[in-house]
A and B are shown apart, each in its own frame.
Chain A
């Protein structure tokens, strides 16, 4: 079933257009990575989905209008909007009691079991915890909620690599199953590539690329071309070319792998490479148009 359905979603702050009429459809059981440069409109899109901001256009999340029914929607939707939003005065025990008090789908025993695996003590206040521990606490609260959609907006910003890895590992191992849906935005693209089922690039308020990870792996090929083959490879119309250690690396969309095999070392590109190719091309085109 469809978890999120958006049509012509638009949002402007004064003359700045944050969302320029995007269409979006997210099915149940997907883990969608929303990736884009700063100011691309990712957070605005998530805020609209979470009912935190009004918008123009059509938007349904789990069949509800998020702006009109935020409190109802939050029974089925969880979000971690950036790291430091847990109030500093809150005690861990109070956080558990409060969420248990207001959330019908919160399993307190599960949250306590998750916290027992960390160094967080129930009597601690949030201000006494390290940044990584605050994220662990927030994640334990969220994972104990039987929600259908989880939205993560830069959930691991400012954390060291151990916490970041642990964050996604517990999310995948202890939380995700195919009746849940996750949307995540991050700048650490390479770290979540293996986690995602779908990926979407945003730039200047528009969705500029949308693909499942299966399609991504079959569609895109990167070739580190032998120097003598560069001209032949360029003739096959790569979508992007970059130089690494004096070697040309060409990125192809829908290319014939057998044809490319003779030209150099063939491999699947990373999401980061594709991102640079797609967004970089756009930035170049825009600069060219402006000049």
Chain B
């Protein structure tokens, strides 16, 4: 197309369509989230790597784990079949947490460090949209990604298990009976949602730190809580602060699930969920209120921030 001066004021059909359609308010948010995924490739690479490790480990351990599985009593059989799935879930959740924490600490700091904040602020995207897009990574994007990857690994693991069992002359029916797939997936989705909601104030706090700190956001995130916990221990001989921190990290488990039966007898995974108790926990709502407060403060800070 010509870019002579006289044609400069005539936008292409594409641009006319875009301005004519009056951009939907969610469009900048959508593109801001994509932008985050372009910049922070660990968000997608790390869970994919975990999926790879899980599958590799599963394949290598497959034959010896299922050896003589038919000879075991139901509880042991259940454990033998379920353990890899539980380990995989743990690995995914732990990785997702670490990736989220590191991401949040960099999200509003990196753009000031490399001065690119001046470019982002030259575009019609509000500070609220930017901060929300960054908060959505640990709270929505990663849990969803982890969930889909878990489904995908399950869909590879199950047929493999069936094949091996069949090769050993065992009917795979026992396997399928031990793994109520859809109920498991539903339970997983619940679990990931619960964790995201429970950890929301943690990630919002880390985002706020990354908007505030001039340097070493990681140290600001780690040392003060550690220092307060140690002070609490030395001065008052108590573990209150440490317990509080631990509760915010792993307390979701006791608040959202009923303890599994001690005898290891397999139960319906959905029976272990306790959404009513979780929703009735004041600490959940206090945490969410704090998360909203921290995010609002991060929006305000970003508005004032210049490159460092």
Contact = CB atoms under 8 A, between A and B. Distances in A.
Contacts of B117: 85
Interface string A89-104: 1110010011111111
B118 A85 contact: yes
A101 B304 CA distance: 25
A173 interface: yes
Nearest to B121: A52
Given A53-B306, A177-B5, A106 B15 contact: yes
A23 interface: no
Interface string B123-138: 1111101000000000
Contacts of B219: none
Given A104-B18, A105-B15, A177-B9, A86 B119 contact: yes
Nearest to B126: A71
A109 B14 contact: yes
Given A114-B3, A179-B9, A102 B125 contact: yes
B101 to A, nearest CB: 21
A188 interface: no
B27 A102 contact: yes
Contact of B22 (A79, A104, A106): A104
A113 B18 CA distance: 19
A237 interface: no
B243 to A, nearest CB: 41
A82 interface: yes
Interface stretch (B32-40, B61-69, B70-78, B140-148): B32-40
Nearest to A175: B8
Interface string B1-43: 1011100110110110011001100011011101100110000
A84 B307 CA distance: 12
B14 A72 contact: no
A39 to B, nearest CB: 16
Contacts of B122: 50, 74, 78-81
Contacts of B8: 174-175, 177
A108 interface: yes
B281 interface: no
B11 A146 contact: yes
A114 to B, nearest CB: 6
A107 interface: yes
B18 A106 contact: yes
Contacts of B1: 109-110, 113
A107 B23 contact: no
Interface string B176-188: 0000000000000
A89 B34 contact: no
A102 B124 contact: yes
Given A105-B19, A177-B8, A98 B31 contact: yes
Nearest to A73: B124
Given A106-B15, A109-B12, A113-B1, A89 B124 contact: no
Q: Which of B116, B122, B123 has the most CB of A within 10 A?
A: B122
Given A75-B124, A97-B31, 8 more contacts: A85-B118, A85-B119, A87-B119, A98-B31, A102-B27, A104-B124, A105-B18, A107-B12
Interface of B: 1, 3-5, 8-9, 11-12, 14-15, 18-19, 22-23, 27-28, 30-32, 34-35, 38-39, 111, 114-119, 121-127, 129, 303-304, 306
Interface of A: 47, 50, 52-54, 70-75, 78-82, 84-91, 94, 97-110, 113-114, 138, 146, 173-177, 179
Q: Which 3 A-B pairs have the closest CB atoms?
A: A101-B31, A87-B116, A71-B126
